[in-house]
Structure 1
Amino acid sequence: MQTLTRRRDFLAANAGERAPMPGFVLLVRPRNDGDATIRVGYTVTKKIGNAVVRNRMKRRLRALARELLPSDGVPGADHVLIGRMGGIERDYASLRAEFGKALRKTATRVRGKVPG
């Protein structure tokens, strides 16, 4: 699993499938470059809170990705997690359940569009 760092990768992922959940939004876009590596990016805006709050939200999103993406993520796709205001108040178990649901939702849509 690699981390997205370039702005153009985040912008490209924005054109992919979207699964909004109460604590975050998941964007998934297949790269179609033949590389099966799962890439993931995280973004939490200043609207969410100060640096301490944003960093805590990013830590939670990273923990979710480490736990679920290797088994449930779409191989060869970019996944972007965008933190939402409600994500800080939600407990980890509900965020985990929402992330699993979002991964299943986007995976079926992405696999339906990719030929083969």
Structure 2
Amino acid sequence: MRVGRRAGSRTVVVHLADEVAGAVGGSGPRIGFVVSKAVGNAVVRNRVKRRLRHLAREHVSSLPGSAVLVVRALPAAAAASYAELSIDLTRCLARVRSEARA
């Protein structure tokens, strides 16, 4: 994600691009997740991914129509609770959206 805006916290880094070259128009916002092996073994990575996917669903309606959101989990996400991930994701998305308005 070389375009758009970025905000990070202890557990996640959020990249948001309003318009990406080659994106199909009218398909709605797209969300991707990056959880590397540094986070933990396959069981831990999948648990983090499931939690982030569920949390991101709550924010889809607030994204612009052609937005691309990438959520990158940091190694601290493995030990974070669901509530901590929720707070970090919400805070990062708020910062990224406020930068878009400025």
TM-score normalised to structure 1 length: 0.74
Length, aligned pairs only: 99
The gaps in structure 2 that reach 5 residues or longer are none
Identity percentage of aligned residues = 33
Distance 1:75 1:107 in 2: 14
The gaps in structure 1 that reach 5 residues or longer are 1-12
- Structure 2 residue aligned with 1:51: 42
Specify which of 82, 96, 100 is matched with residue 92 of structure 1.
82
TM-score normalised to structure 2 length: 0.83
Contact 1:14/1:27 (CA < 8 Å) preserved in 2?
A: no
Distance 1:56 1:14 in 2: 28
Distance 2:17 2:63 in 1: 11
RMSD (Å) for aligned C-alpha atoms: 1.9
Contact 1:19/1:105 (CA < 8 Å) preserved in 2?
A: yes
Greater relative contact order (CA < 8 Å, ≥ 6 in sequence): 2
- Structure 2 residue aligned with 1:21: 9
Distance 1:58 1:14 in 2: 23
Contact 1:41/1:79 (CA < 8 Å) preserved in 2?
A: yes
Q: Which amino acid aligns with 1:78?
A: V
> Are 2:65 and 1:109 aligned?
no
